[in-house]
Structure 1
Amino acid sequence: MPVTAFGVDLITFFHPGFWGVDTEDDIRRIGCTAPERIWATVMDALVAAGVSAVEVTFAPADVETAIRAFGSAAAFRDELSARGLRLVSGFWQPDDWAAPADQLADEAAAHAALLADAGATALVLGLPMRATTDAVPPRFVDLWAADQLADRVHHIGAATRQLGVVTAMHTEAHSVFCQPRDIDLLLMLTDPNYVGFCPDSAHITLSGGDPVAVATRHRERIAISHWKDAAGPMSTDVVIDASIHERHREFMRPLGAGTVDWPAWADVMGSSRGGDLALLELDACADPVAELRSAITHLRALGVA
């Protein structure tokens, strides 16, 4: 199935330079005081970039901020539609993975209900981060830990399924669901009728995996995917703290400037559910419109779109 539509995860718009401010905290403050400015700016940029699908993410590019800007999830959906845009998914992760499974399911359902009202059909689930390898005591991602996590993910997936929203686990680098073995393990332990898969080509690359090989093994589980390029693997021995996501960005590259085999990736995605959509992601890009246009041009030049 060829790519016929392009979308973007809104983490792409988290560069302070795009907003004329100094830090990401400044962007969040704009979201608190002027949510309508956030969404008017983002939607104008999406139209200018030539994309038609949206994945919401952290505040202020989240569904809750959009509701504050427009009054309701339905009104947000209408605002997108008026510009030729549609919401396809939203990134979400619990504040506390140690909470009881029923509590996590209720939290996920509340968020998924907002996403569904705004038109989305997928909740992209962020999994817990690993501990630094040399942490004392060590924290192993073994069968017992994976089984405990799978139980929680099952409850989340069952709860969002009732709302018409599929839960898809996301492959964040340095998380418990990033290295090929981690991905194989958690997908084996989760029921495909309740839990889907969101492979991220860059984060699998950062984790030392071959994103095409990983996606090929689990193509029947793919509910949505993130199309992003990276320079190559990072060390698994780095300190994993609050700054790890910013350090990931040092290894991200504009689409076509990294190591991902895009024709092969597109071939796998084309045989998966929703394979006609290329959901692009460019972490905190200073000029997102130009970079998105360039990514679309590159994919079209390769003949995959």
Structure 2
Amino acid sequence: MTLADAGRRLPASARMRRAISNGRVTAVLILLPPALILFTLFVTLPLGESAWYSFFNWNGYGTPSNFVGIANYERILNHSVFHIAVGNTLKIVAISLLIQMPLALFLALLIYKKTPTNAVFRLVFFLPYILAEVAAGLIWSFVFDGNYGVTASIAQSLGLGNVFILSDPDLAFMAIMTVIVWKYFGFHMMIYIAALQSVPQDQIEAAKIEGASRRQVVRYVQIPHIKPAIAVSAFFAIIGALQVFDVIIPLTNGGPSNQTHTIVTYLYTFGLTRLNIGFGSAVGVILFVGAVTVAVFYQRIFMKRAEA
């Protein structure tokens, strides 16, 4: 019987006395109330207010009084632009999982060892993540500019004339996804590097002595050890994809013809900027429910499998 099992079999009063003597109760009483207060003020109450406002046709001024029930939700679900926004959000999730994460893992496997050269490469690859999202969007908007940007210079040198990528409905969202992969792959790469550095070196050496190739070492030794890190990285990628906003606004502002909206930019454009706060609150509630559902589903299934 382990010490943990013995502790569980103690009477409740004895466990309480032990917790008090260890200082756990004191720590909880000191640290928990401030956290609960902050969480209530900045998370729970705003969410509750958003859910309440979503049942009103309200412009944000005064007290909401025009109760419309679920009309805002019906308008959202019947709005073609919302369908486009949901589709684009799912595309970003897919790109993050199928391109961004494999790229980050590939580079992490190349530069995870602690050498001065690898440290320089890590810094270079991680710099885009440090850069502010709005700044990154503005930089890439210049790169994709059809008149004066880098893309224009390359197209003109090839004799293609001016190419306006961000004005083309078919190319604009591909440009956005390119920026997203460039911006965030460094974050996932650092997660993988930290996990790879914790893989026991003796197991890698033993596999090499047994004649395992580099690919086999990666597949059968390193990747199984970093499965929890991959699961956490995928979780961050999915939740981050659901919240993409700052990169898109300076690049396309949801255009052309509302073809590059995500759920968050849709909320901003059709809710906040048009002073339709009730409508925007309904979009926020839908996004929150979707994000929580994904988080709970992912934690209960994929995280447990990774830890097993």
Could you say which TM-score interval applies, normalised by the shorter chain?
A: under 0.3
Bigger CA radius of gyration: 2
Looking at both structures, which has the greater relative contact order when contacts are Cα pairs under 8 Å and sequence separation is at least 6?
Answer: 2
Q: Which has the higher helix share?
A: 2
